[in-house]
Amino acid sequence: MAENSTPIEKTKPFHEWLRAKKNFPHVWCPGCGLGVVLGASIRAFDKMGYKKNETVLVSGIGCTGRIPVYVDCNTLHTTHGRALTFATGIKLANPDLKVIVFMGDGDALAIGGNHFIHAARRNIDLTAIVVNNYIYGMTGGQHSPTTPLGMRASTAIYGNMEPPFDACALVQAAGATFVARTTVFHTLHMEKMIVQGMQHKGFSMIEIISNCHTAYGRLNKLGDHIDMLKAMRDNSIMLGPKVDQEKARETGKTYVLGVLHEDTQRPEYCDAYEELVVAKARGSA
């Protein structure tokens, strides 16, 4: 290294944002997509110019819930399904904070489902990142609200018979003003979607399709993590100037990727709350 060159530790965002000397090695299985999500999120924070003391990461329980543990900023590891309630309190207490919530499909849509739809209904300025691997990976491979029909889980040994949620359609119907989908195969696109979600003023939800080859893949004979990543690649269609959502659906691809919905007109909850408080203080409400 040249005498005046900058050490690599000072040039890479992950050296600044990770608790590399404290909480590693991580607990995720080799090949898990959550490491890709963590890396893309950190690069997104760096692109947004976020500062550690103004950034808060909140999570619940599960494999995805471990993400904030490894990031060197304000973090809150909460109870199962309650990440959005804690995040709502944080945002209302200090609306200037950048609050990002990491949840798995079970955490967000099963025990946390009620909080999920009401956070969207309020349109509070949170960025919710939902990592969907179709199963409860940490606790033994039980089926989740997104497990596809007929797919096996430890609690559905003959195949899941419950129709799954479409997380993006659900949250859009509940009132979210930014909804996007990506996969852990599409790493740069994932980073872009996270950045756009954080730039949006209102409730943003990014669904990230990920692999759990240890539980879901093994139970359904889908191969290893490489096989599952290739399946994401082959079964995805990207929205663009020549491909709208209708055309994307006509292709029959499993995953339609990109910004599925954005509304910049609805009032954000913290702003509306502040206006109400000011009006009450002035005696005009």
What residue ranges define each of the domains in the chain, with the CATH number in brackets? 8-281 (3.40.50.970)
Q: What are the φ/ψ torsions at residue 147 (nearest 5 degrees)?
A: -60, 125
Quote the CA–CA distance of 86 and 69 in Å, as a whole number.
Answer: 16
Q: What is the radius of gyration, based on Cα positions, of the chain?
A: 19
Q: Is the dihedral of CA 243, 248, 253, 255 positive or negative?
A: positive
Beta-ladder partners of 259: 180
pLDDT tens track of the chain, all 285 residues?
A: 344 444 445 546 878 899 988 888 899 999 999 999 999 999 999 999 999 999 999 999 999 999 999 999 999 999 999 999 999 999 999 999 999 999 999 999 999 999 999 999 999 999 999 999 999 998 889 999 999 999 999 999 999 999 999 999 999 999 999 999 999 999 999 999 999 999 999 999 999 999 999 999 999 999 999 999 999 999 999 999 999 999 999 999 999 999 999 999 999 999 999 998 887 777 765
Q: What pLDDT, on the 0 to 100 scale, is given for residue 284?
A: 65
pLDDT at 3: 45
- Enumerate residues 6+ apart whose C-beta is below 8 A from 147: 134, 135, 153, 156, 160, 162, 164, 216
ω before 164 within 30° of 0 (cis)? no
What are the two backbone dihedrals, phi and then psi, of residue 264, each rounded to the nearest 5 degrees?
-100, 5
Phi, psi of 176 (to 5 degrees): -60, 140
Q: How far is the C-alpha of 90 from the C-alpha of 84, rounded, in Å? A: 10
> Which residues, 6+ apart, have CB-to-CB distance to 128 below 8 Å?
84, 101, 103, 108, 116, 119, 171, 203, 204, 205, 206
- Give the model's pLDDT for residue 8: 44
pLDDT score at 52: 95
